Structure 1
Amino acid sequence: MKKILMTLCMLPFLIWVQGCAPATYEIEGYTASSMNPDIPVPTNAKLIENIAYSDHPTLKKGANYELKHIGGEQGLYPPMDYFQKLADTGWVELEEERLGHVHFLKKDTTVIAIEIQENTFQITEMIEESAF
């Protein structure tokens, strides 16, 4: 009887602990971005929309993707394995230009901005020679 009572008391605690466990994202591989084939994106990221900035002085084009928990809780934890893949393909992060959730990367003459949120990320290509 004592064991049954102890088990029943522990059950709500175990359910609560499981509910508070941090959710993680999973990258299943990489494919080319819809806006620029030189930019890898996780294959399991869902394209939400392509964005055209026809009259913006510094932004050229962009793509918004959804991948659950890619930015961690409240977008505070950037996906280091994704940034490593970007580095492996030649993208160099301009760390001095980082603005909170927005990371700037450069490859040859192309500069992109990647904004990481909790469940989405947006890749934006900058116009060459623009100040950001």
Structure 2
Amino acid sequence: MKNYLILSLLLPLLLFSSGCTPATYEITGYTGSSINEEIPVPVNAKQMSLTAYSDNPNFKTGITYELKHIGGEQGLYVPSDYFEKLSEAGWVEVEEERMGHVHFLKKSDTVIAIVFQEHTFEIIEMMPGFTF
């Protein structure tokens, strides 16, 4: 009888926990960013804000997009398919300059930083001549 009681308590917990798997993001295609057409952005990412960084001499402009689960739980996961698309477009990650959520990419003389959070990502175009 005791075994049936334990089983009847564990079964609902098992069913509940299997239904709580983390959601993933979905990219339906790409378009150029509104701050730089050469930077691909998922078509289904919603533009949240456009920022001119006048208080930081290294930042030219920035834009924030919303795409549910793009950065994974707490922004800890890099969206590999998005980075593949950036690579196809000619952007090369400067891996030695990566700082947690901040990834730097370079194409010709242009340097951008992409900051991932759980449901948003921000693209920041650095000033011409920016050095790390």
| Pairwise same-fold verdict (TM > 0.5) | yes
Q: Tell me the secondary structure at the aligned position of residue 14 of structure 1.
A: helix
Could you tell me which amino acid in structure 1 is paired with residue 45 of structure 2? A
Q: Deviations over 1:25-82 (max 9, x none)?
A: 1111001111110000000101000111234210000100000000111111110100
**CA–CA distance in 2 between the matches of 1:101 and 1:80?**
14
**CA–CA distance in 1 between the matches of 2:13 and 2:108?**
55
Gap regions ≥5 residues in structure 1: 1-5
> In the alignment, what sits opposite 2:47?
47
Could you tell me which amino acid in structure 1 is paired with residue 57 of structure 2? P
- Identity over the aligned pairs, expressed in percent? 60
Gap regions ≥5 residues in structure 2: 1-6
**CA–CA distance in 1 between the matches of 2:130 and 2:68?**
32
Aligned CA-pair RMSD:
1.7
> In the alignment, what sits opposite 2:57?
57
Normalising by structure 1, we get a TM-score of 0.88
Q: Tell me the secondary structure at the aligned position of residue 118 of structure 1.
A: coil
Q: Tell me the secondary structure at the aligned position of residue 22 of structure 1.
A: coil
**CA–CA distance in 2 between the matches of 1:9 and 1:80?**
36
> In the alignment, what sits opposite 1:24?
24
> In the alignment, what sits opposite 2:124?
124
Normalising by structure 2, we get a TM-score of 0.88
**CA–CA distance in 1 between the matches of 2:16 and 2:66?**
28
Alpha-carbon offset, residue 109 of structure 1: 0.5
Alpha-carbon offset, residue 22 of structure 1: 1.6
Could you tell me which amino acid in structure 2 is paired with residue 24 of structure 1? T
Q: In the alignment, is the contact (CA less than 8 A) between 2:111 and 2:130 conserved in 1?
A: no
Alpha-carbon offset, residue 128 of structure 1: 1.4
Q: In the alignment, is the contact (CA less than 8 A) between 2:33 and 2:41 conserved in 1?
A: yes
Regions of 4+ moved over 6 Å? 6-9
Could you tell me which amino acid in structure 1 is paired with residue 17 of structure 2? W
**CA–CA distance in 2 between the matches of 1:36 and 1:60?**
11
Q: Tell me the secondary structure at the aligned position of residue 15 of structure 2.
A: helix
**CA–CA distance in 2 between the matches of 1:9 and 1:128?**
60
**CA–CA distance in 2 between the matches of 1:118 and 1:51?**
20
**CA–CA distance in 2 between the matches of 1:8 and 1:59?**
56
> In the alignment, what sits opposite 2:3?
none
**CA–CA distance in 1 between the matches of 2:62 and 2:102?**
13
Mapping of residues 1-132 of structure 1, within 5 Å: 10-19=11-20, 21-132=21-132
